[in-house]
A = this chain, B = another copy of it.
């Protein structure tokens, strides 16, 4: 799957992933009304609105970008109805041949981590049959529990040709509270980066490993350092746009050929219709066109900085 991701990035010339993180405030009134008319002002109604909203975005950007990243928390807050919308979103994206990165930040130990890996990337055996749960292509994973938490994911990735992105240095302001603390002369995130490099060396694709890393756009110097520490890891970069990262911050995350990193934007794209400069040009009913325009602008911003 890492090979497919790299190949699609080359083809689209867009190292961009669209974060499908719907929030009620981002969704045009006419979509909410249609969904509420069908299902009432209920979790089912909101989940239907999430999916309809996503479909519009996906249709509008699927030829421009290699991948999408639905954030499962947004769906999970609606309980089962929301998770059904997450599942439908993953399936719809895969029909459109998009690579789906499930932003699930799971992590546990042993058989429990194996269960998460199975539910998101693999198949569960029941009787003589095998069944996929959510069936994303990649998942994000939390490293706090050490190798016991990561290895079961790596095993499932090997079997099903899927991949993971391990949290190394997250984009948020307080990420340094633990991640930046110095251990033997180096911050914790560098130690985690070294572990990612080691875990990933056991599961290589053509040029990059199936084990990638998450490093926030908001910490460009650290991104540059980590690029060197994990030469085979694709870096998933959140924090562009709404969180403050800009194209020029990103050069250090990439290799010389413009590969090696993929930058996420969520609300900067899916809620572009509400923001300058798009809100002047696009109406509520053109929210998907606004998203497409925002992707094209982001592509230009990033490529001008890295190529």
A143–B142 Cα distance when bound, in Å, is: 10
B-contact 0/1 string along A170-213, CB 8 Å cutoff: 11111111110111100010011001000000000000000000
- Looking at the assembled complex, report how far the CB atom of A170 sits from the nearest CB atom of chain B, in whole angstroms: 5
**Which residues of B sit under 8 angstroms from A42, Cβ to Cβ?**
126, 129, 131
Interface contact B112-A45, CB-CB below 8 Å: no
- Which of A43, A77, A179 has most B Cβ within 10 Å? A77
Interface size class of A (residues with CB under 8 A): 35 or more
Q: When A36-B127, A146-B178 are in contact, do A79 and B133 touch as well, CB less than 8 Å? A: yes
Do B147 and A144 have beta carbons less than 8 Å apart? Answer: no
**Given A106-B105, A116-B73, A133-B76, does the pair A174, B188 have CB atoms closer than 8 Å?**
no
**Within 8 Å of chain B (Cβ to Cβ): is A12?**
no
User: Known contacts being A77-B118, A80-B87, A183-B182, is A148 close to B127, with CB within 8 Å?
Assistant: no
Does the CB pair B79–A179 fall under 8 Å? no
Which one of B23, B145, B177 contacts A167 once the chains associate, using CB atoms below 8 Å?
A: B145
Interface assignment of A304: CB less than 8 Å from any CB of chain B? no
* Complex interface: chain B residues within 8 A of A134 (CB): 79
A49-79 interface code vs B (CB 8 A; 1 in, 0 out)? 0000000000000000000000101101111
Q: Are B105 and A108 closer than 8 Å at their CB atoms?
A: yes
Complex interface: chain B residues within 8 A of A112 (CB) = 21, 71, 73-74
Copies of this chain, tallied across the complex? 2
Task: Determine if A46 is an interface residue (Cβ-Cβ < 8 Å).
Answer: yes
Residue of B nearest to A87 (CB): B80
Contact check, B174 vs A178: say whether CB atoms are below 8 A apart.
no
Query: Which B residues lie within 8 Å of A175 (CB)?
Result: 109, 145-146, 148
| Inter-chain contact A24/B126, CB cutoff 8 Å | yes
Question: A283 interface residue, CB < 8 Å from B?
Answer: no
The listed residue (B77, B107, B111, B191) touching A105 by CB distance below 8 A is B107
Query: Does A128 sit within 8 A of B, measured CB to CB?
Result: yes
7 contacts between A and B (CB under 8 A): A73-B113, A76-B120, A109-B172, A109-B175, A149-B172, A149-B174, A181-B184
Given A80-B133, A109-B175, 11 other A-B contacts at CB below 8 A?
Answer: A71-B115, A73-B115, A73-B116, A76-B115, A78-B119, A80-B80, A82-B119, A144-B144, A147-B177, A178-B192, A181-B188
